[in-house]
Every structure is written in structure tokens, then in C-alpha cells.
């Protein structure tokens, strides 16, 4: 994968994890009240466990992909980029 696609994936994963931490719980409570359901509708262990696992998976994905996107190029990657530039110029 290119560094650009890795950085896009990392950014989307990180932003989604931040939204899960700060925004989505309040939106869920608002929607529950709007639909007339009790506030403790999502307070069971299964929902919290799944939410927790998804949050950490997104956090790990964001961290790993951004780390790979920000790493230095290896000699082989530099060689491949130079070859691609030469081939495109002809």
C-alpha cells in the first residue's frame, strides 16, 4: 500500500475512535430519549464489550497505519519510486 492510502486509513480510524469516545455515546443517549426508550438501554455487558473491542481495534489500526505511513522509505522503496518516475517520464 502507498503511504498516502495508509495515512488515509489511519486518519479515518483515528477520527472514528475519537468520535466513539467523545461524541457517539451522547448521540446514542439523545436518540434513545427521542425514541422514548430508557437511558439504560445500552448498559448491558454485551454491548459495552463489543463497543470496547471495536474502539481498541480502531485505535490500534490507526496507530499502526500512521506509524507505517510516517516511517522512512527503505532502499527498495526508494528504488521502486525512482524506477516509476523514470518509466512515467518516457
Kindly report, residue by residue over 39-88, the tens digit of the pLDDT.
Answer: 777 778 888 888 899 999 999 999 999 998 888 878 888 898 889 889 98
- Could you tell me which residues come within 8 angstroms of residue 23 by beta carbon, excluding any fewer than 6 positions away? none
Q: How many residues does the chain have?
A: 90
- Can you give the pLDDT at residue 44? 81
Number of domains present in the structure of the chain: 1
- Is-above-0.75 flag for pTM? no
Domain holding 77, by residue range, is 3-89
Q: What is the DSSP secondary-structure string of 16-52?
A: HHHHHHHTHHHHHHHHHHHHT--GGGG-SHHHHHHHH
Kindly report, residue by residue over 15-33, the tens digit of the pLDDT.
Answer: 999 999 899 888 888 888 8
pLDDT band at 9 (very low <50, low <70, confident <90, very high): very high
Amino acid at each position: 500500500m502507498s503511504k498516502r492510502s495508509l495515512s488515509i486509513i489511519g486518519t479515518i480510524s483515528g477520527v472514528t475512535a475519537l468520535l466513539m469516545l467523545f461524541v457517539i455515546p451522547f448521540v446514542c443517549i439523545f436518540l434513545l430519549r427521542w425514541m422514548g426508550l430508557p437511558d439504560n438501554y445500552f448498559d448491558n455487558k454485551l454491548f459495552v464489550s463489543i463497543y470496547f473491542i471495536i474502539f481498541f481495534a480502531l485505535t490500534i489500526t490507526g496507530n499502526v497505519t500512521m506509524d507505517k505511513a510516517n516511517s522512512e522509505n527503505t532502499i527498495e522503496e526508494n528504488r521502486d519510486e525512482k524506477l516509476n518516475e523514470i518509466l512515467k517520464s518516457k
